[in-house]
Structure 1
Amino acid sequence: MNIHHLRSATFIIETGNNFILIDPMLGKKGSLPAFSYVKFKAEKNPLVELTDNAAELLDKVTHCFITHSQTFNIRAFQHTDHLDRTGEKFLADKQIPVYTFSHDAPYLKNLGLNVQAGIEHWKEIQFLGGRLVAVPAKHGHGWISKFMANGCGFFLDLPNEPSIYISGDTVLTEDVKTAIFQFNPDITVVAAGEAQMDVGKPILMTESEVRKFIQLSPKHVIANHFEALNHCPVKRADIQNLVTEIGEKDRVYIPDDGQTLSFHLN
């Protein structure tokens, strides 16, 4: 299995002849508004362009997972850092099969996307000869989570490949811990940029929660959601310092944009 990190939370899982796109934010640098105007510098998003190898990889995409996309079915509240207009067009034009949380499925179908399955929390479906499970995600600490797009993470277990749990945009909850303990994934993926809106508490895991997530994860950990959005203050170097401090640098990966990671069953 190869993991091709594109930018922020957007990456591609390569397994055999299949290329599974996760949370496509595909627009050009500065094509989205700032997500914070008070706490952080009000820069348009994304802060960086996709790398040169992205187009070649995107041409190979066969499936797409979208962890979350919208709040209250309101277009203006779409989480464009996980599905932007360019990502929508890409999926709709190519009619890429899309798998998402059940709550988001009707909304995405209305955008013209080829939604194959809307999966309920903790439900399992067959996928590429293996299984795909939706795990609850809580997008924020405290009251702000009620106004966020609480979607899901995904656990993917394919024949002859390492299993992977993509936690999605979430804080560290009992559901996240249960997924790690129950599925014992070979790879976990954590959104570690500690995104914050101008009001309320962080909407992703804090550094202390990321530390605990890493310590709970049984094997390899990939940290992403860095340095591409103006409301994410935690940088790659911060997490690198954290994993060095806790002695976990040999199994935690913090990929650069455009980098490919390779994993094999032991």
Structure 2
Amino acid sequence: MKIHHLRSATFVIESGKHFILIDPMLGDQGTLPPFSVFRFKSAKNPTVDLPSNAQDLLAKVTHCLVTHSQTFGFKPLQHGDHLDSAGEAFLIKHSIPVTTLTKDKAYLEKYGMSVESGLEPWISTEFLGGNITAVPAQHGHGWIHKVMANGCGFFLELPNEPSIYISGDTVLTPDVECALSELKPDITVVATGQAQMDVGQPLLMSTNEAMEFIRLSPGKVIANHMEALNHCPVDRATLKRSLEAQNLLEKVSIPEDGESLTF
């Protein structure tokens, strides 16, 4: 298995002839509005372009997983950092089969995407000769998660490959802890940018939660969702310092945009 990190939460899993695109934010730098104006420096998103190898990888994509997209079915509230208009256009143009939560299936189909599977939490479903399981995600602490697109993470077991759990946009919850302790993934992917809006508590794990997630992970951890969105204050250097302080650095890969990891 290879993990090709593109940008923020967008990456590609390569397994044999399959190239699985995760949460396609594919637009050019600055094509989305700022996600924070007062709490952090206002800047249009994404704050960086896709890496130079992105188009070659995207040309090979065979499937797509979308952890979350819509809130209340209202297009202006779609989470563009996980599915933007360029991502939609790519999926539609190339007829890429999408897997997402059942609650998001009709919404994506309404806008022309081909949803192959709508998943129910904790129900294992056949996927590419193996299985995929949706793990509930809570997108934020306190009241703010009730107005966010609470989606899911994905646990994949592909033939002759290490198992992988993608946390999605979530704080540390009993469901997340259960996925780590019961499913025992060989690889975990965790969003560590600690995104915050101008109001409310963080939308992703705090540093302490991220450290606990890493401690609980049975195997190697990949950290993403950093340095591409203006509302994510934790960058790679900050995360590295936290990991060093907790003696966890050797357990974690922090890929640069465009970097590929082999497992």
TM-score range, shorter chain: over 0.9
> Counterpart of 1:125?
125
Residue 238 of structure 1 and its aligned partner are, at CA, apart by 1.1
Equivalent position of 1:100 in the other structure: 100
Tell me what 2:161 maps to. 161
- What is the one-letter code of the residue matched to 1:46? P
> What does 1:29-40 align with in structure 2 at a 5 Å threshold?
29-40=29-40
> What is the correspondence of 1:1-266 to structure 2 with a 5 Å cutoff?
1-263=1-263
Per-residue CA shift, 1:22-76, capped at 9, x if unaligned?
Answer: 0000000000000001101110000000011000000000000000001000000
Letter in 2 for 1:157: E
Instruction: Summarize deviations over 1:69-107 as a string: whole Å, max 9, x none.
Output: 010000000000000000000000111000001111100
Residues of 2 paired with 1:247 and 1:15: CA distance? 31
Q: Which residue identity lines up with residue 234 of structure 1 in the other structure?
A: V
Structure 2 unaligned residues grouped into runs of 5+? none
Q: Which amino acid aligns with 2:41?
A: K
Partner Cα separation in structure 1 for residue 209 and residue 4 of structure 2: 25
Q: Which amino acid aligns with 2:127?
A: F
For residues 254 and 96 of structure 1, the distance between their equivalents in structure 2, rounded to whole angstroms, comes to 28
How many residues end up aligned between the 2 structures?
A: 263
Shift of 1:126: 0.3
Kindly state the Cα deviation for residue 123 of structure 1 after the two structures are TM-superposed.
Answer: 1.2
Aligned to 2:242, the other structure's residue is in SS state helix
The offset of 1:247, in angstroms, is: 1.5
Segments ≥4 residues shifted beyond 3 Å? none
Q: Which amino acid aligns with 1:125?
A: T
C-alpha separation in 1, matches of 2:250 and 2:41: 34
**Superposed CA offset, 1:189-245 (max 9, x none):** 100000000110000000000000000001100000000000000011111111112
Letter of the 1:199 partner, please give it: V
The amino acid of 2:227's aligned partner reads E
Q: Which moved more, 1:73-82 or 1:122-131?
A: 122-131
Residue 104 of structure 2 aligns with an amino acid whose one-letter code is: D
Q: TM-score, normalised by structure 2?
A: 0.99
Q: d(CA) in 1 for partners of 2:124 and 2:197?
A: 33
Counterparts of 1:49 and 1:250 in 2: how far apart (Å)? 29
Q: Quote how far apart the aligned CAs of 1:114 are.
A: 0.7
Shift of 1:158: 1.0
Compute the TM-score of the two structures, normalised by the length of structure 1: 0.98
Question: What SS class does the counterpart of residue 250 from structure 2 fall into?
Answer: coil
Distance 1:176 1:257 in 2: 26
Identity %: 60
Shift of 1:248: 1.8
> What CA RMSD, in Å, does the superposition of the two structures yield over aligned residues?
0.5
Worse overlay, 145-154 or 242-251: 242-251
